[in-house]
Structure 1
C-alpha cells in the first residue's frame, strides 16, 4: 500500500512531558493494548479486516500485526506506521514523535484513508462523521501521554488537543 497516496483524514497532536524514548515505549504499549483485545478482534472480523489476530515480533516492529492493523514501519523514537484494510476502507495511522523542547515530545497521529463505493461512504459517515474516530484517537494520545509521564519528568504538559484539516 502506498500510504502517501491515501487521502488525508485528520491529525491529532499532544505534547508529552517526557523524552521520545519514553513516549515511544508508551506508544507501543498503548497501541498494543488498545487494538489487541477481544472487542478489537470481533470488530476486525465483522468488517472483514485483513489482519484479525496479533502476530509477528514484539515489541512492535515492521511485520507485527494485531486486529485491524499491520506495522508498515517502526523507527524507534521517531515514527510508527500502521496500515490496514477491510471491506469498507483502506487506511493508515501514522504516529510521529518530534522534539518539543527539553524533556518534551510532540506526538502526532495522522490518519489517511480511502472509503470506496456507497458502503465505504456510509462507513466513513459512521466512523469519521460522528466524531467517533477523533474521540478514540484523542483518548489514545491521552493514554500515551499519561503512561509516558509516569516514567518521565512530572511537569504535567497539557494536551494541545486535536487539529483537523
Structure 2
C-alpha cells in the first residue's frame, strides 16, 4: 500500500497519565512485540497476513505518530497511532503531564469475501474491542515503565 491510504474506519483514544516520552516508549515496545501475530499463529496462516506478523512499521515520528500497515486475503489496512498532550479541548492544566493516545484505523475490504470479513470484524464490534485493548495495554505498559 505504499502511498495509498485506505478509507477511514474509526478512531479510538485514551488519556494516559504519563508524559509523551513514556507513552511513546510503551507504544513502540508494544508495536514491535505484543501487537504482532506470531509467525506460526493459525490466524496468520488462514488470513495470509503480509507481513506474517500482521503489521510493519512504515512511519515513525518520535513522540508524535506511528503507522503500522499490513494486508491479508480480505483486507489492506493501516493502523495509525497519534500522540498529543492532555485531553482534547482541555487546557494543559486539566491534564498536566498526560498524553492522549489515539488509534485511527484505515482499511479496504475488497470483493465479496472482504465485505463479509468487514461484517465479522468491524460491524460486530470485535475491531473496536481489540483496538481499545491495544490502548489499554499501552497504558499499562507506560504505568510499569513510567
Indicate conservation of the 8 Å contact 2:36/2:54, yes or no. no
2:85, 2:38 → 1: CA distance? 35
**Aligned residue-pair number:** 138
TM-score (norm 1): 0.76
Please, which of 65, 85, 88 is the counterpart of residue 79 of structure 1?
65
Indicate conservation of the 8 Å contact 2:6/2:108, yes or no. yes
Which SS does the other structure have where 1:34 is aligned? Answer: coil
TM-score (norm 2): 0.86
Residue 148 of structure 1 pairs with residue 134 of structure 2: no
1:50, 1:37 → 2: CA distance? 11
Gaps of 5+ in 1: 53-66, 153-165
Indicate conservation of the 8 Å contact 2:37/2:44, yes or no. no
Question: Deviation above 6 Å: which 4+ runs of structure 1?
Answer: none
Which SS does the other structure have where 1:35 is aligned? Answer: coil
Which SS does the other structure have where 2:70 is aligned? Answer: strand
- Any idea what the Cα deviations from partners look like across 1:96-143, whole Å, max 9, x if unmatched? 001113211100000000001100000001111111110011111011
Which residue of structure 2 aligns with residue 139 of structure 1? 133
Indicate conservation of the 8 Å contact 1:3/1:92, yes or no. no
1:14, 1:76 → 2: CA distance? 19
Cα deviation for residue 145 of structure 1 reads: 1.1
2:58, 2:116 → 1: CA distance? 27
